[in-house]
Amino acid sequence: MIPFIVESTGKTVIPRPDMLHRKITVTSDQPLMRSHAVERVFEALKQADIGVIESSDMIVMLDIKELANTQMPDGFSMVSTGTYGDGPTRVVAMPADLDVDNVEGVAFSLLNSHPGAIEIAGVILLMAMLGAVVLARKKVEMDDAAKLAAQTRHLVEVGPLTAKEIEEGRLAASIRTAASAKDSGAMASGGRA
């Protein structure tokens, strides 16, 4: 396995002594390019609890538990590759100006290297605020329309009345008038009938 990694990558491989006794098997039913085969070997090593640290000129193999505790020299960071960070861990040189000390420093370095970013951020913020105003105004208009619809629901359209309905309405009105006159007369006489 180690000679294959050396031939495929052209890098020096430094395994820990206890890594030499661990066995892994990688099989494929199709021919693979060397780069894909090396990635498969690294995945198999990870499944066998062997951590792989890859730098520009060497590959270090150690126990995966040691990988979390490994201290990198200043200016270097370990980055896990792969789709979900499940690939080999690579050592990457990080320039000193990328070190994050405070938020203001990050903002300044972003704006310093990209002066137009503040203008673009301002336009994006302005568009977001305009969108919020439009949505709020639309909601107010919808609320007003809902209130108007609720008020008009209580109004019932009455078509033309027939002669019978008019006569029944007059009869009901005269009965109510007679009943109210009788009640008011009874009250005027002191409640005696």
Q: What is the pLDDT of residue 193?
A: 45
Report domain extents, the chain. 2-96, 100-157, 159-193
Q: Which residue, 91, 85, 87, 95, is CA-closest to 57?
A: 91
The model's pLDDT over 133-151, given as tens digits with 9 standing for 90+, comes to 888 888 877 777 777 777 7
Kindly report the pTM of this predicted structure: 0.42
> In the CATH scheme, what architecture does the domain 2-96 have?
3-Layer(bab) Sandwich (3.55)
Question: Which amino acid is present at 93?
Answer: A
CB crowding 162-178: b at 16 or more within 10 Å, else e = eeeeeeeeeeeeeeeee
The model's pLDDT over 52-111, given as tens digits with 9 standing for 90+, comes to 777 778 888 877 777 667 776 666 666 666 655 566 666 666 666 666 556 666 666 667
Pairing of β 58-63 and β 76-80: unpaired
Dihedral class, residue 82 (left if φ above 0, else alpha if ψ from -120 to 50, else beta): left
CA distance 12 to 164: 109
